Copies of this chain bind each other. A is one copy, B any other.
Amino acid sequence: MHDSQLAKRSRGTMLRLAGIALSACFALGACASHEPQASSQPISASTPTAAALPSWQDSAARAAVLKFVADVTKQGSSTYVPPEARIAVFDNDGTLWSEQPMPFQVLFMIDQLKAAAPHHPEWKNNPAFKALMAHDNAALAKNQNALLQLLETANSGMTTDEYDESIRKWLASAKHPTLGKPYTDLVYQPQLELLDLLKANGFTVWIVSGGTAEFMRVWASEAYGIPPEHMVGTEEKLKYEVRDGKPVLVRQTGFDFIDDKAGKPVGIFRAIGRRPILAFGNSDGDREMLEYTTGGSGPSLGLLLHHDDAAREFAYDRKAGSASLDKAWDEAQAHGWVVVSMKQDWKTVYPALKTSGQ
């Protein structure tokens, strides 16, 4: 790839990462749900896992999942898949936790940028920075490139240990702008149950995110019960250095690899070396991952989460900018992917709050 192409791709992803949904969809009211057609395939299932997925409605989507798990674990059947090939891949933002008003990693990056501002008096006249501080979304939309440059450079020069610590600190205090909860409370309860079901049935579960593995590892192992080595993401440039006698990795500007859209099958192949048999996403950024997963020769299952629940979470699909579910939705029918309606298929969205002392 030529330098200019790489720059274009990097920018494209930062745009997605930066959810420049900003311009199209910051006021979430504008992202209404269209053509709800979730869970349209009637699947008769009578599996031995009747108690599984308690936060899922007893719907066709749940039945499809249970049937698939039963099929691939049934020894001696033509649909049996040995445990080492039971690879499941999940997108993160919008699939395992919320992603509005924009992916939480981007909200973190913006907060980092604001925190670093006192050390950068030169930003005062930067149009993107001014727009950001003034919450002027129209101006921000006009100065996306300048914003991206700021976001990319804000944390370069930090070691990975320092960066991880800054993520940890942010997560401990930051709250979602409209839901008012800590971000790690915004994981989806029905998905936690699905992860447990898959693990209990010999699946190895991987997260394949447009964000970075480093951002996820700080909190996602505990949140999802997935080990850090099973998180694949966009790869920021890092440089090995010995600093004050200690070997460290130092953050650079830019990316070696963009794990989004057509990058996801590449990221999967590199990290896992096997084609998954189950993929769960929620936007066009996951389309190629689902195609790749369901394009193998054996049994496979593709799933898309449809955000159609403005009351409990958010409602957005075809016109949600970088988080759009549009082309992938069109393909779902042709490929037999299951579209899961948050509104119709999930009894609950977020985990019940822990009471103190528990």
Residues of A whose CB lies within 8 Å of any CB of B are 1-3, 84, 160, 213-214, 217, 227-229, 231, 235, 237-240, 242, 246-247, 249, 252, 254, 256-257, 262-263, 265-266, 269-274, 288, 291-292, 295
Number of copies: 2
Per CB-CB distance, the 9 closest pairs between chain A and chain B, nearest first, are: A228-B273, A247-B295, A3-B3, A240-B262, A247-B292, A240-B265, A238-B266, A217-B273, A247-B291
**Distance to closest chain B CB from A45 (angstroms):** 28
Report the Cα distance A257→B247, complex, angstroms.
20
Report the Cα distance A290→B238, complex, angstroms.
18
Give the most central of A228, A242, A249, A291: most B CB within 10 Å.
A249
Measured CB to CB, the nearest residue on chain B to A4 is: B3
B266, A249: Cβ atoms closer than 8 Å: yes
- Which one, B3, B238, B246, B272, contacts A2 given CB within 8 A? B3
Report the Cα distance A269→B288, complex, angstroms.
26
Q: Please, which residues of chain B bring their CB within 8 A of the CB of A252?
A: 1
B237, A270: Cβ atoms closer than 8 Å: no
B291, A242: Cβ atoms closer than 8 Å: yes
Q: Please, which residues of chain B bring their CB within 8 A of the CB of A3?
A: 2-3
Q: Please, which residues of chain B bring their CB within 8 A of the CB of A1?
A: 237, 252, 254
Report the Cα distance A203→B214, complex, angstroms.
22
**Distance to closest chain B CB from A167 (angstroms):** 13
**Distance to closest chain B CB from A5 (angstroms):** 11
- Which one, B235, B266, B273, contacts A240 given CB within 8 A? B266
- Which one, B228, B240, B273, contacts A272 given CB within 8 A? B228
